[in-house]
Amino acid sequence: MLPHHTPRLLTLALAVAGGLLTNLGFPDTGVWIAAIAGVTVLYVATRRDSPWWNALVGLVFGLTFFLVHIRWAQYAVGDVPWVALSTLEAAFVALFALVWTWVRRIPVLTRSRALHILTFATLWVAAELFRSAAPFGGFPWGRLAFSQAESPLGRLAWLGGAPLVSFAVAALGVLLALTFLALVHVDAFGFTTTLVSGALVLAAGFFVPLDTQAQSGTLRIGAVQGNVATPGLNAFDRRREVLDNHVAGTHALLDRVEPGELDVVLWPENGTDIDPQVDAAARAAIDGAARAVGAPLLLGAQEYPEDGGRYNVSLMWEPGVGVTDRYAKQHPAPFAEYIPIRDLVRPFSDAVDLVTTDMLPGTQVGTVTLDSERLGRTVLLGDAICFEVAYDTLVRESVAAGAEMLVIPTNNASFGPTEESTQQLAMSRLRAIETGRATVQISTVGVSAVIAPNGVVTHRTGHFTAEQMIATVNLRTTITPAVHAGQWPARVLLFVAVFLLGAATLHARRPSTPSTPTTSRPPRGTARTTRTGRSTATKRPATARKG
């Protein structure tokens, strides 16, 4: 067992190892148990009873994790933005470690192993929620939940969304650490209780009923991944190339289906690099493809209103009619689709000037209507554009509004041959479980996929390939517990975190107590050795007896 006075250099080495291990839990490696083990290592690394030192340990863990995990940002926009974003996100891990060290001094947490574990998990999720909301709308990438799409814990998203999954991962990580420490101390009772508790947490997901059956019919969908000639920020420099690729891909669907067999054809975000609402040639090309395949198109485009700015939109295009419905992205990505505090940031990176026109946020819930001639009714499709899939509220709101399936149109061309696209696919899989909805992630360059309501991938494309997918997806109307609960799981966890912080403040001036529940304690009256080497005995305090 590592003592509370673990050598400082060792704690930093553990922080680096924990960050690397946690990243292995995410795609492309995707060994989900590694993310749990990463939390275990972080827990052990922060056992010193020094808040500020543990904050440094958390910072090192966070930097190690995020610099590797979001290296796609380096590919897309360069070293300075990549390091700056990684450092900002790592600061939240440092804040967590500081607060955790402080809060765990509360006496009741030093006496109760269960409360100790629950507190760690609560504070971890609170930190994730905090960084998912601030600054500039937050950056949820790298939440523990997004590493668990293939694990039993991922199934818990059906009950409580991403917060519950992250909570379970963090709690299991601590249980694993305490199991190891009990084993080292030859504490049979502690080893058994923590091992059994961990097994129960891991097995809990198997009891979640993930139904995949159609409840309101099916849709026969086509999805077109058009690809680009050159990955990176210059992917859209060839005017009309992206549009022409997706038009060609739509016509290619006719090699596998007859006209009219598909209910809808899905294009990705920025599937056309020219707004067909103002460009006659683009309009003719898109309408020609829709007429040929005999189905509406849901396509991604950019709109430029007369009063300035731009919108990132999904347009429902009916053959011979044009746009019948639209959804505008509600959460543009800061420093990528719009530049806040542009003048302050420019001295650090001229990449800000690559965004010449700031994107405006849409104001409507993420849904678009599809008039299905075969079903004889209107089908509501949930729509979350690109990074919006990482934000809990946006996806839940579309399902609560009546969406019967989800579409995640995305443009991953700027990130090149990195893990960004597959990391996003893991998020889409978790959203399918959380909402109980079939989900289609369709990308300009891949990876695109069709996902069943239980998170299982049924169709998948390659990366930087021109491909098409044809699938029948089940439409569903049942509202899952996670969607019913909405923001309440997150609110409860945040409330508890604030309460714990307040309790720690009240106890701040009291004498310090051991901050980690011990796995074995010497019985009273046994000898122990002090730091000076002297042998002392633990004595039972004298008590007065009444005759």
Is residue 119 helix, strand or coil?
helix
SS3 per residue for 77-96: HCHHHHHHHHHHHHHHHHHH
The separation between the first and the last C-alpha atoms of the chain, rounded to the nearest angstrom, is 46
- Whether the per-residue pLDDT at 530 is higher than 50: the answer is no
Task: Place 508 in a pLDDT band, splitting at 50, 70 and 90.
Answer: confident
Q: What is the pTM of this model?
A: 0.90
386 part of the active site: yes
Q: Give pLDDT, residue 338.
A: 81
Nearest by Cα to 127 from 152, 103, 163: 163
Strands ordered across the beta sheet of 367-372? 367-372, 377-383, 405-410, 439-443, 449-451, 457-460
Strand ranges, E, within 384-526: 405-410, 439-443, 449-451, 457-460, 467-474
Cβ neighbour number for residue 117 with a 10 Å cutoff? 25
Distances from the Cα of 473 to the Cαs of 209, 299, 449, in angstroms?
19, 19, 12
Backbone angles phi and psi of 479, in degrees to 5 = -95, 120
- Give the pairing of strands 439-443 and 449-451: antiparallel
pLDDT tens per residue, range 300-351 = 999 999 889 999 999 999 999 999 999 999 999 887 888 787 767 777 666 6
- Mean pLDDT computed over 202-228: 96
Measured distance CA(525)–CA(199) in Å, rounded? 36
**Which alpha helices (H) appear in 205-279, and where do they start and end?**
241-252
Mean pLDDT, rounded, of the chain: 90
Q: Give pLDDT, residue 259.
A: 97
Cβ neighbour number for residue 337 with a 10 Å cutoff? 19
Q: Give pLDDT, residue 344.
A: 72
Q: Give pLDDT, residue 510.
A: 64
- Whether the per-residue pLDDT at 479 is higher than 50: the answer is yes
DSSP-assigned letters across all residues of 353-405: GG--SPBPPP-S-SEEEEEETTTTEEEEEEE--GGGGG-HHHHHHHHHTT-SE
Task: Place 520 in a pLDDT band, splitting at 50, 70 and 90.
Answer: very low
Distances from the Cα of 345 to the Cαs of 73, 334, 361, in angstroms?
16, 12, 21
Pick from 257-266, 290-299, 524-533: least confident = 524-533
Among residues 89, 128, 337, 386, the one annotated as catalytic is: 386
- Mean pLDDT computed over 120-125: 98
Q: Give pLDDT, residue 120.
A: 98
- Mean pLDDT computed over 118-130: 98
470 within 8 A of 222, measured Cβ to Cβ: yes
By percentage, how much of the chain surpasses pLDDT 90? Answer: 80
Q: Give pLDDT, residue 409.
A: 98
539 part of the active site: no
Hunting for tokens 């309790």 — which residue is that? 503
Measured distance CA(298)–CA(381) in Å, rounded? 10
Pick from 289-293, 340-344, 358-362, 416-420: least confident = 340-344
Measured distance CA(42)–CA(159) in Å, rounded? 27
- Tell me which DSSP letter residue 415 carries: G
Among residues 89, 128, 269, 434, the one annotated as catalytic is: 269
420 part of the active site: no
Residue 289, judged by CB atoms within 10 A of its CB (0-12, 13-18, 19+), counts as buried
Q: Give pLDDT, residue 511.
A: 57
Among residues 329, 388, 397, 434, the one annotated as catalytic is: 329
Measured distance CA(471)–CA(459) in Å, rounded? 8
- Whether the per-residue pLDDT at 521 is higher than 50: the answer is no
pLDDT tens per residue, range 56-85 = 999 999 999 999 999 999 998 889 889 999
- Whether the per-residue pLDDT at 388 is higher than 80: the answer is yes
Residue 372: beta bridge partners? 377
- Tell me which DSSP letter residue 7 carries: -
Cβ neighbour number for residue 480 with a 10 Å cutoff? 24
Nearest by Cα to 224 from 283, 292, 279: 292
Measured distance CA(443)–CA(424) in Å, rounded? 10
- Whether the per-residue pLDDT at 539 is higher than 90: the answer is no
- Whether the per-residue pLDDT at 500 is higher than 80: the answer is yes
